[in-house]
Amino acid sequence: MSNTFLILKQEYLKRVKKKSFIILTVLMPFLIAGVYGLVIYFSVKDDTEERTIAVYDETSLFLGEFSDEGSTKYHFIPKEEYAGLKSNLKESGYYGVLYIPANIYTSNQAQLISDKQLPMELAEQLERKLSRFIENDKRQKVVEESGIPDLERKLAETRTSVTLSTLKISETGEAKKSSSVVAFIASYSMGLIIYFFVFMYGAMVMKSVMEEKKSRIIEVIISSVKPSQLMAGKIIGTALVGLTQVTIWVVLGGIGLVAVQGFFSPDTAQQMGQSLMESQGAMNPAMTQAAQSNPVNEVMEMIGNLNIPLILFSFVFYFLAGYLLYSSLLGAVGAAVDNDEDSQQMVFPVTFPLILSIMLLFPIAKNPEGQLAFWTSIIPLTSPIAMMARIPYGLPAWELVLSMSLLVLTTIGAIYAAAKIYRVGLLMYGKKVNLKELVKWLRYRS
């Protein structure tokens, strides 16, 4: 046991004292926030590329109806010019040509010609303009034919936008505000975090074993340490490194959430709203009500209404169990091979269930009660990620207990098998290892 602790300590201190670990631990939250900030910024940023779309309208109904939108401008052209543009679009200076056929009211189809792959936003903009015009024109004809006074105004008044507020009934019967979006973000984020850490730290264990094996220093180490003690020390030491990093990030994230919640407190929001209205010289009751509303506090309330203790406990459990499972298997791979080429061939079959679970994370989080979500959260090789995608939504206790039990049993079996491969493979050099050879190693008696 003392040997295991010494190896554990050496592995832990060797990694946490690295400058790369310190820099990554401090900067990662800011890098993640920056990446999300850039994604949000570029998502809402207006497209500023100048485009001129030539429009040939066979119906002559849309003439003058296409107003410029943003940096996209529209120019109506006659039939003669359209015929020449189709074969000489590059030299024309137009970004594309919109052809509106005479039968558009019955076919509901138009055509956009360009020598480039058109942005999805531009196509949606044109579809919206055409659909809106045809809809308004048809509605106007219905109004004129009906003879009912103010029919158009009455039809406009029937348009309704409904906002859905969701409440979740707890076991005590208390109704709490919930949000499927908040639950989705929480489930998806935790699944990604577990995937990232299990993969990264499991690969660290494999790389450490391979380096020691290639340098032949492993021959000196196992002269005084049992292979099982060496494997346990490496796996547990690296796990503690991961937990240290996660703990620091959780603390920094908690501080950040408290700071954001404090900044957007009701008093602050009200003061900001009043200052804005005073600067505009208006005290509109609707604006006052909007200023007093605080969406940040509502989101924080929804997060608080999640079963945080269960989520944190499950996160730690599935992180550790998933890590022990895959790091044991990857450590065995590192002990069984001699070079990077062989390791890459063996790593993929071992980590394929992990990769598959991250690929299925979105449909699992989207439908946490479906058959796909159920079976992937029960099967031990995919459950560390799949189950974390379901827990924020709530699930029966027996499913969670069954998933955890199967994962623990599978992890114990994987550790036992990996220890056998580890013991034999550490001193095996110059031999290509295949599945048949690994099965033979598993049958060796201690």
Distance CA 110, CA 100 (A): 5
What would the mean pLDDT of 66-84 be, rounded to a whole number? 81
Residue 61, phi then psi, degrees to nearest 5: -90, -25
The conformational region for residue 70 under phi > 0 = left, psi -120 to 50 = alpha, else beta, is: left
pTM to 2 decimal places: 0.64
User: Which stretch of DSSP H or E encloses residue 306?
Assistant: none
Whether the pLDDT of residue 177 is over 60: the answer is no
Whether the pLDDT of residue 372 is over 50: the answer is yes
Q: What pLDDT score does 282 carry? A: 44
Q: What pLDDT score does 299 carry? A: 54
Q: What pLDDT score does 410 carry? A: 92
Distance CA 395, CA 402 (A): 12
Q: Which string of DSSP letters, residue by residue, matches 345-411?
A: HHHHHHHHHHHHHHHTHHHHHHSTTSHHHHHHHHSTTTHHHHTTTTGGG---HHHHHHHHHHHHHHH
Distance CA 310, CA 33 (A): 26
Whether the pLDDT of residue 284 is over 60: the answer is no
Q: Which residue has the higher pLDDT, 178 or 251?
A: 251
Q: What pLDDT score does 431 carry? A: 66
Q: What pLDDT score does 302 carry? A: 57
Q: How confident is the model at residue 404 (pLDDT cuts 50, 70, 90)?
A: very high
Q: How many CA atoms lie within 13 A of 181 on its CB side?
A: 6
Q: What pLDDT score does 260 carry? A: 61
Distance CA 112, CA 96 (A): 7
- Of the listed ranges 16-30, 316-330, 370-384, the least confidently predicted one is 16-30
Distance CA 242, CA 63 (A): 64
Distance CA 231, CA 333 (A): 12
Q: What is the pLDDT of residues 85-99, one digit of tens each?
A: 767 777 777 888 888
Q: How confident is the model at residue 39 (pLDDT cuts 50, 70, 90)?
A: low
Q: How confident is the model at residue 277 (pLDDT cuts 50, 70, 90)?
A: very low
Q: What pLDDT score does 406 carry? A: 94
Q: How confident is the model at residue 375 (pLDDT cuts 50, 70, 90)?
A: very high
Q: What pLDDT score does 179 carry? A: 52
**CB distance 273 to 288 below 8 Å:** yes
Q: How many CA atoms lie within 13 A of 158 on its CB side?
A: 6
CB contact burial 301-334 (16+ within 10 A = b; e otherwise):
bbbebbeeeebeebbebbbbbbbbbbbbbbbbbb
- Of the listed ranges 47-51, 269-273, 367-371, the least confidently predicted one is 269-273
Q: How confident is the model at residue 288 (pLDDT cuts 50, 70, 90)?
A: very low
User: Which stretch of DSSP H or E encloses residue 8?
Assistant: helix 2-16
Q: What pLDDT score does 157 carry? A: 67
**CB distance 325 to 411 below 8 Å:** yes
Q: What pLDDT score does 402 carry? A: 94
Q: What is the mean pLDDT of the chain?
A: 75
Percent of the chain's residues with pLDDT above 90: 5
Residue 367 Cα to chain centre, angstroms = 15
Distance CA 187, CA 199 (A): 18
Q: What is the pLDDT of residues 297-315, one digit of tens each?
A: 555 555 555 667 888 888 8
Q: How confident is the model at residue 133 (pLDDT cuts 50, 70, 90)?
A: confident
Distance CA 240, CA 10 (A): 12
Neighbours of 57 (CB within 10 A): 23
Amino acid at residue number 406: L
The tokens for 120 are 């999805």
Spans of all domains in the chain: 51-137, 181-245+307-443
Look at domain 51-137 and name its CATH class. Answer: alpha beta
Sequence-separated contacts (24+) of 418-421 with Cβ below 8 Å: 418/231, 418/328, 418/329, 418/331, 418/332, 419/227, 419/228, 419/231, 419/328, 420/444, 421/332, 421/335, 421/336
The conformational region for residue 317 under phi > 0 = left, psi -120 to 50 = alpha, else beta, is: alpha
